[in-house]
Amino acid sequence: MIVLGIETSCDETSAAVVDGEGRVLSNVVSSQMRAHAPYGGVVPEVAARAHLENLPAVLDAALERAGKRLEDAELVAATAGPGLIGALLVGLSAGRGLAFARGLPLVGVNHLEGHLFSAFLRPGGEPARPLALPFHGLVVSGGHAELVRVEEGGRIVPLARTRDDAPGEAFDKIARRAGLGYPGGPVVDRIAQRGRGDRFPFAIGRSGDGSLDFSFSGLKTAMLRELERRGIDGSPLDPERLDPELVDLLASFQRAIVAALLDRVERVHAAEGMQTLAISGGVAANTELRATLSAWGGEHGVAVLLPDRSFTTDNAAMIAWAGLLAARRGAPTDPAAAAARSRWPLGT
Amino acid sequence: MPDVETRTANAAETEALGEALAAELSANDVVYLEGDLGAGKTAFARGLARGLGASEREVASPTFALLHEYAGPSGSIVLRHLDLYRLVDALRELEVLGLPDSMEGAPVCVEWPRGALRRLLPPTVEVRIDTKPGGDGRRVSIRRAGDRAR
């Protein structure tokens, strides 16, 4: 089985070829992000036109790198939501066109479901890890914080989500206000490695109604106040020559994000017992998060799956893989029925 | 609602103000939410969403996604939540969001409104949340900005 995956839900245009064993034969991502732009360095080129301009070359490159031709594809998987309708339509319409032209089935994939199963993919053309159902999934990125249970039959049960900021967004906004550029996650990750994360204890945000939901805006605001008090206003700073106190502050901020994620993982494990925890999304690349959750899993007998860093940010390999799994579970594969959905909560 | 100038002590009170404003909104309203990072714009939007019948669990910052749509119990969209934080003031980028045509049928709230948006999607209500009092306190002003023309 050869699956062609297409992803255009937000900033990235991506195409990938994945086989029936979950081997990623190619995964091409064309970032539309123009870094260091005039407005604070955070400028996505959201134009559907940009996806449209990128997609043909990205598709060609994905096939070529996989050593495959379009005729080899047996299933098309394209992100159908959630996201901006204009952006989604570019990838989904291209996928539908290919499917119609070649008489292939097409699965419209939930972008978050793509992340959820990405922890099972392996780099280097290795087959995917065996899918261990049931498992728990933690999707943490610039736009999401979702903790879910995936049941034996594949049903996804949401357990916790963020009520305000996503963790990656908190990293980005704080890094920008600290004058450290964009994206914020990797730069804070590097700085935190030489800092003391226990020096400035921040409270763990809770939703206020006793639910497991995450809240990161209180932490963001507390951190902004700390920056303000030190006269840090967003003027560019050299990450290698920071005041040691600021290094500790950033390390403590990162520690608080990791602690909040671990807190919910622990509470879910206490309530219903986890066997496998699959971490995914851009924040799953964070060094401290990976180390902390791995160590926790080791102590509690929970298998913690960490995605290869190449599969943490938005990519089409995860869409191809999730599409294949969905098709095997009996998801609709009629290309005529696939519709873009701007709003598509996990598990619906 | 007459124009409001008030203070809130915490995010929950800011959210409650949003919920109160929701009762006054119609499908044509466009609410601009202005204020610095951490002022409570998303909390205010959460109040709006709750007041309009959406689950508050649906609400999250749309900074990354740019647009979130919240549905009420019947499944229809009751509020659109835009966030232009990541965008430069480029008309083309706003048009890609489908503005203003894709904003019909439900009120819209906008974080980080600016530039060409004022022309594409002019405000009917302007909310300003000021962090200046310091601590957890906020000064909030809510002002009718005229009828939405479209």
Could you state, in order of their start, the residue ranges of all structural domains in chain B?
4-149
Low-confidence spans in chain B with pLDDT less than 50: 148-150
% of chain A exceeding 70 in pLDDT: 95
User: Which pairing describes strands B108-111 and B77-83: parallel, antiparallel, or unpaired?
Assistant: parallel
Q: What is the pLDDT of residue B126?
A: 97
User: How far is Cα B128 from Cα B11, in angstroms, rounded to an integer?
Assistant: 14
Average pLDDT over residues A154-161: 95
Q: Where are the beta strands (DSSP E) in A20-155?
A: 24-31, 33-35, 42-44, 75-81, 106-110, 135-140, 145-150
Task: Provide, as residue numbers in chain B, all residues whose Cβ is less than 8 Å from the Cβ of A86.
Answer: 96-98
Q: Are B83 and B41 in contact (CB under 8 A)?
A: no
Q: What is the pLDDT of residue A87?
A: 87
| DSSP assignments along A47-74, one per residue | -HHHHHHHHHHHHHHHHHHHT--GGG--
Q: Are A15 and A4 in contact (CB under 8 A)?
A: yes
pLDDT band at A36; cut points 50, 70, 90: very low
pLDDT(A296) > 90: yes
Average pLDDT over residues A282-291: 98
Q: Are A50 and A14 in contact (CB under 8 A)?
A: no
In this predicted model, which residue has the larger pLDDT, B137 or A320?
A: A320
* Enclosing H/E stretch for A323: helix A316-328
CA neighbor of B94 nearest in space, from A47, A89, A81: A47
42-61 of A, contacting B, C-beta below 8 A: 42-49
* CATH, domain range A135-307: 3.30.420.40
* Enclosing H/E stretch for A305: strand A303-305
User: How far is Cα A56 from Cα A61, in angstroms, rounded to an integer?
Assistant: 9
Residue A239 DSSP one-character state: G
A175 in B contact zone (CB under 8 Å): no
Count the neighbouring beta carbons within 10 Å of the beta carbon of residue A275. 13
> Residue ranges per domain, chain A?
2-123+310-337, 135-307
Smallest CA–CA distance from A341 into chain B, residue: B69
pLDDT band at A54; cut points 50, 70, 90: confident
Radius of gyration of chain B (CA): 14
A226 backbone φψ class: left, alpha, beta (φ>0; ψ -120 to 50)? alpha
User: How far is Cα A300 from Cα A284, in angstroms, rounded to an integer?
Assistant: 20
For A66-97, the pLDDT digits (tens) are: 999 999 999 999 999 998 888 899 999 999 99
Q: Name the one residue in this structure whose structure tokens are 């939540």.
A: B81
For A213-256, the pLDDT digits (tens) are: 999 999 999 999 999 999 999 999 999 999 999 999 999 999 99
% of chain A exceeding 90 in pLDDT: 85
Q: What is the pLDDT of residue A41?
A: 36
* Enclosing H/E stretch for A304: strand A303-305
What is the phi/psi pair of residue A212, to 5°? Answer: -80, -5
Q: Do B42 and A87 touch (CB under 8 A)?
A: no
User: How far is Cα A97 from Cα A335, in angstroms, rounded to an integer?
Assistant: 9
Task: Provide, as residue numbers in chain B, all residues whose Cβ is less than 8 Å from the Cβ of A208.
Answer: 12
Q: What is the pLDDT of residue A37?
A: 41
What is the ipTM for the molecules in this complex?
Answer: 0.90
Task: Out of A48, A142, A224, name the one closest to residue B64 (CB).
Answer: A142
Nearest-neighbour CA in chain B from A211: distance (Å): 10
Q: Do B43 and A217 touch (CB under 8 A)?
A: yes
Q: Do B64 and A143 touch (CB under 8 A)?
A: yes
pLDDT band at A47; cut points 50, 70, 90: low
Q: Name the one residue in this structure whose structure tokens are 């065996």.
A: A130
A167 in B contact zone (CB under 8 Å): no
Task: Provide, as residue numbers in chain A, all residues whose Cβ is less than 8 Å from the Cβ of B93.
Answer: 45-47
Task: Out of B42, B56, B57, name the one closest to residue A217 (CB).
Answer: B42
For A256-279, the pLDDT digits (tens) are: 999 999 999 999 999 999 999 999
Q: What is the pLDDT of residue A19?
A: 98
* Lookup: tokens for B123: 């405000």
* Lookup: tokens for B102: 């894709």
Q: Which CATH architecture has domain B4-149?
A: 3-Layer(aba) Sandwich (3.40)
Q: Are A267 and A256 in contact (CB under 8 A)?
A: no
- Indicate yes or no: pTM above 0.90: yes
Task: Out of B59, B69, B70, name the one closest to residue A163 (CB).
Answer: B59
pLDDT(A31) > 80: no
CATH fold label, A2-123+310-337 = Nucleotidyltransferase; domain 5 (3.30.420)
* Lookup: tokens for B39: 């002022």
pLDDT band at A10; cut points 50, 70, 90: confident
pLDDT band at A207; cut points 50, 70, 90: confident
- Indicate the residue type of A148: V
Q: What is the pLDDT of residue A38?
A: 40
Count the neighbouring beta carbons within 10 Å of the beta carbon of residue B18. 27
pLDDT(A281) > 70: yes
Q: Do A162 and B60 touch (CB under 8 A)?
A: yes
Q: Side-chain half-sphere of A182: how many Cα atoms within 13 Å?
A: 21
Q: Are A175 and A187 in contact (CB under 8 A)?
A: yes
Mean pLDDT, chain A, integer? 93
